[in-house]
Amino acid sequence: MDENGYIVVTVKTAGGALPVENAVVTVKDSVGSLIAVFFTDRDGRTPKLKVLAPPLVNSEFPGAPSPPYFNYNIDTDKEGYVSVRNTNVPVYPGITSIQSVELITKSEGSSGFPNDYVTYTEGTPPNL
């Protein structure tokens, strides 16, 4: 079995109605090491990124010494939009995690968000 996972990021705006082309998507591991930088295509999608995932055996019984997933952090930026940071995005072995990102247009003058970005912490998956 594949002990890698995969990440695809989709970036949209206008309540998810419009794709955002050429958004910069930066993927880092849980300690902040750079994994990859992509630009979204005309459909607002990144290419599929192959990343490390834990051994599948970690998901085969409750109380395993390590969780059955690795966490990744994803930053999404585009000029004229408030940047988005998704933290603790879980990636399981053999699975493609699709991370949806919605960018909000910056208003003239002040964005209303501290540091011009918003952070979303993904929920911790259930204890399998």
Domain assignment of residue 127, yes or no: no
Q: Which residues of 76-98 are buried (b: 16+ CB within 10 A; e: fewer)?
A: bbbeebbbbbbeebbbbbeeebe
Residue recorded with tokens 């879980």: 90
Is the pLDDT at 126 greater than 70? The verdict is no
Give the domain CATH number at 19: 2.60.40.1120
Q: Which domain holds residue 50?
A: 4-121
Domain assignment of residue 126, yes or no: no
Is the pLDDT at 2 greater than 70? The verdict is no
Average pLDDT, rounded, for the chain: 88
Q: How many domains does the chain have?
A: 1
Q: Are 51 and 34 in contact (CB under 8 A)?
A: no
Domain assignment of residue 77, yes or no: yes
Residues 20-65 have pLDDT tens digits of 999 999 999 999 999 999 999 999 999 999 999 998 877 777 777 7
pTM: 0.87
* DSSP H stretches of helix in the chain: none
Q: In this predicted structure, what is the pLDDT of residue 8?
A: 98
If one compares 122 and 126, the residue with the highest pLDDT of the two is 122
For the segment 88-110, the average pLDDT, to the nearest whole number, is: 87
